[in-house]
């Protein structure tokens, strides 16, 4: 006898609860497998669920609960700044905190045509969003991993964004080509290596190269700050996402490199240090 949709939802929720996972993920997975909106799902709860969809859902529930595979990798996408981005095991899953980084860049950067580079682009979420929100900007995206750039390029194609992609280490591709930019934005790896074992098993399934920022979490900021003078224009805006407690250290690095810059440490919606922004010249 076939199961009703609500029975499958109850089973998945219970399975997640028993294995210490968010129960809400059950609805997310179910909607994906049934290709339904939330309203459609709740209108159909007493309908029977076809066996093939049920078996596929159960397999994904077990992958998330027992193997700790992120839901976003199972369904293949995540939403960011009102758009849907393809994600897989080659890229970091975009977070709401990074939407705040994008919002600050959009609010603070002058609106006339600018050149912008997103360093460590991953899925391309930052670069693509900036390109789509400001079509007159010339946007570059850099990543050290070819597998990540493939995802970014696919996202740009699907969303209709015009971004120039480079494979390389931090700002090296810009330095080699002699390209200067008005905005540098980056969400680099900033978790100290010793903290990785304390992360949730689900987060540990994301690419370590996108998580680990050296012994103290600040390695990539040091390297970026050394490269910045070769790339930025004289009135540039620099915006970094950071981990909580890293604000003062990153601010100091930027102030030492650009003594006349105005540097702010900004807090996210949860009250944690999240963004460091430097203006190299006042407007």
214 annotated ligand binder: no
| Gap between the Cα atoms of 104 and 242, Å rounded | 14
122 annotated ligand binder: yes
270 annotated ligand binder: no
201 annotated ligand binder: no
120 annotated ligand binder: yes
Beta-bridge partner residues of 163: 139
189 annotated ligand binder: yes
Q: How do beta strands 163-167 and 138-143 pair?
A: parallel
Tally the C-alpha atoms within 13 A of residue 64's C-alpha that lie toward its C-beta: 26
190 annotated ligand binder: yes
Q: Are 246 and 190 in contact (CB under 8 A)?
A: yes
The sign of the dihedral angle between the CA atoms of 133, 135, 137, 142 is: positive
| Gap between the Cα atoms of 58 and 36, Å rounded | 17
Backbone angles phi, psi at 117, to 5 degrees: -125, 135
Q: Provide Rg for the chain, Cα atoms.
A: 21
3-state helix, strand, coil in the chain (%, to 5): 45, 20, 35
124 annotated ligand binder: yes
Angle among Cα 205, 209, 215 to the nearest 5 degrees reads 105
141 annotated ligand binder: no
118 annotated ligand binder: no
Which residues, in sequence order, are CB contacts of 197 under 8 Å at separation 6+? Answer: none
Which positions make up the binding site for substrate? 187-190
Which positions make up the binding site? 120-124, 143, 187-190
Which positions make up the binding site for S-adenosyl-L-methionine? 120-124, 143, 187
């Amino acid at each position: 006898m076939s199961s009703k949709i609500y029975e499958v939802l109850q089973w998945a929720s219970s399975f997640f609860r028993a294995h210490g996972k968010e129960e809400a993920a059950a609805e997310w997975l179910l909607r994906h497998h049934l290709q339904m909106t939330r309203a459609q799902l709740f209108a159909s709860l007493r309908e029977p669920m076809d066996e093939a969809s049920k078996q596929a859902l159960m397999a994904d529930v077990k992958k998330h609960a027992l193997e700790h595979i992120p839901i976003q990798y199972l369904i293949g996408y995540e939403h960011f700044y009102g758009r849907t981005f393809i994600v897989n095991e080659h890229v970091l899953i975009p977070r709401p905190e990074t939407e705040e980084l994008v919002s600050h860049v959009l609010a603070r950067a002058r609106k006339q045509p600018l050149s912008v580079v997103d360093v460590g682009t991953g899925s391309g979420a930052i670069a693509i969003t900036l390109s789509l929100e400001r079509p007159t900007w010339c946007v570059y995206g850099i990543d050290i991993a070819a597998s990540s750039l493939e995802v970014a390029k696919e996202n740009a194609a699907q969303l209709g964004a015009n971004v120039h992609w480079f494979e390389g280490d931090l700002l090296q591709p810009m330095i080699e080509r002699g390209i200067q930019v008005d905005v540098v934005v980056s969400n680099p790896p900033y978790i100290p290596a010793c903290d990785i074992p304390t992360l949730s098993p689900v987060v540990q399934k994301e690419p370590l190269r996108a998580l680990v920022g050296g012994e103290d979490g600040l390695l990539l900021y040091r390297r970026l700050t050394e490269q910045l003078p070769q790339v930025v224009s004289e009135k540039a805006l620099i915006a970094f996402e950071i981990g909580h407690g890293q604000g003062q250290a990153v601010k100091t690095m930027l102030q030492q490199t650009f003594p006349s810059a105005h540097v702010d440490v900004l807090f996210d919606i949860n009250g944690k240090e999240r963004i460091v922004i430097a203006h190299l010249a006042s407007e």
